Amino acid sequence: MFSLLNIRIGFYLAVRQLRRASRWTTSLIVFVMLLTFLNLVVVTGILVGLIEGINESYRTQYAGDVIISALSTKEYIEDTSGVLAFLGTVPQVTRLTKRYQAGGTIEANYLTRTSETEKPNATGAQVVGIDPSAEDAFTGLASHIIEGQYLAEGDYDQILVGNFLLARYAFGEQPGLTPLENVYPGTKVRLTVGGVTREVVVKGVVKSKIGELGMSVFIPASELRTIISRSDQNVAQIAVRLTPGSDPDAFKDLLLASGIGENARVQTFEDSIPNGVADIKTTFAMLGNGFSSIGLVVAAITIFIVIFINAITRRKFIGILKGIGISGEAIEISYVFQSLFYAVIGSLIGLFVLYGVLVPAVAAHPIDFPFSDGILVAPIDGTAVRIALLVLTTVIAGYLPSRMIVRKNTLDSILGRN
């Protein structure tokens, strides 16, 4: 049926039909294919990218490539100096930051409360002791200051407050979280950590879409050690950034093989992301595929209609072709080639738009979702699968109507009889 001769003749006819078809009609059909391609890739890409944006923010603003934290039974990493010494010998490590952590509360209205029965405007928070310059070099924390100023090394009794802790930025009161009212840079607040209370000044407000920043209080590490009476240099967390292209899993294995796992928990940034996020990503991918499938069906119907109208209006010529001995299969193949042309050209233009324009543009200017800086995720293999799907669907959609018309009686077609 699909002999080489039929394919040759089909191609011969298709080229000439396309060459002499209306350029506007051809452009419109290719445009439909382009939109279908983008729908197939971009809808899923944005939905997955919404979550991937969270992951990427988590990696760049908090966890790095590998995060080493205290064991669940400990408050700090024992033999932190040994861990740091080992990390210093590994060439893949480009940068790291050390953090002390403790649970605490912040009270905002302690100066203005007139009655003991009045509810304190207080909230729980993770208090993070940092080396300001090292932390900024690692996460760019200073660039997330939206009010006030960033911490400096010699700062004393000054803190940074995450935006979700403040009423004007928070999503409202939730169990265990009462956003602070009327807290601005320069406002005095009461910080209580480990039973020790100290009056501090809010130096700046940190804005981030990831909870580890937005719901934390940052204080110079030296001051937090003083508050919690720690003189040792053991920290609660070490975030590590690796050279580009390094495999975080391999690095994790290296650390575990060195025995670090006995004193600390070693995770890649993907390991440290809460499970729910991965599930959401999978769910969004499924949703995206479902939505874009609708577009694929629409495109298939469009091609079907275009080819059907083309074939039905050319029914007489199809009859003549068969009459003079051109095989029906060759005629069908000519329509398949035309459908293939529309799909392939539309996909090629789509590839250029996707990787030449959209992906870099969204990477440079992420979509500002409330809880994520969304990016466009378009892996090459996934895109290739979608192109194959589009081409296959279009070819079938072009073959079916042509077969319907070609199979009609030859003489009836020539004479225009039903």
Partner 1 sequence: MIDVKNLVKTFKDGPIETRVLKGIDFTAQDGEFVAVMGRSGAGKSTLLYQISLLDEPTSGEIRINGKEAHLMSEHEKMLFRLTEFGYVFQDYALLPELTALENVALPILMQGAARSAAEAKAADTLTRVGLSTRLDNLPSQLSGGEQQRVSVSRAIAHTPDVLFADEPTANLDRESSARVMDIFRELHTAGQTIIMVTHEDEYAREADRVVTLDDGRIISTPALKQGGLA
Residues that bind partner 1 (CB under 8 A): 5, 8-9, 12, 16-17, 19-21, 316-317, 320-328, 330, 410-411, 414
- Going by their DSSP bridges, the two strands 196-206 and 264-268 should be labelled as unpaired
In sign, the C-alpha dihedral spanning 351, 354, 357, 360 is negative
**Residue whose CB is less far from partner 1, 301 or 415:** 415
Q: How many other CB atoms are there within 10 angstroms of residue 373's CB atom?
A: 22
**Residue whose CB is less far from partner 1, 17 or 258:** 17
**Residue whose CB is less far from partner 1, 10 or 374:** 10
Question: Is there a contact between 79 and 237 (Cβ–Cβ < 8 Å)?
Answer: no
Beta-bridge mates of residue 160: 204, 218
Q: What CA–CA distances, in Å, run from 89 to 70, 362, 389? A: 21, 37, 49
**Residue whose CB is less far from partner 1, 246 or 410:** 410
Minimum CB separation of residue 305 from partner 1 in Å reads: 20
**Residue whose CB is less far from partner 1, 277 or 326:** 326
Minimum CB separation of residue 320 from partner 1 in Å reads: 4
Question: Is there a contact between 334 and 363 (Cβ–Cβ < 8 Å)?
Answer: no
Minimum CB separation of residue 359 from partner 1 in Å reads: 39
Minimum CB separation of residue 367 from partner 1 in Å reads: 46
Minimum CB separation of residue 54 from partner 1 in Å reads: 54
Between CA 327 and CA 334, with CA 333 as vertex, the angle to 5 degrees is 95
**Residue whose CB is less far from partner 1, 6 or 383:** 6
Q: What CA–CA distances, in Å, run from 127 to 100, 123, 219, 246? A: 8, 12, 7, 31
Nearest-CA neighbor of 215 among 185, 190, 180?
Answer: 180
Minimum CB separation of residue 50 from partner 1 in Å reads: 48
- Residue 13's identity, in one-letter code, is L
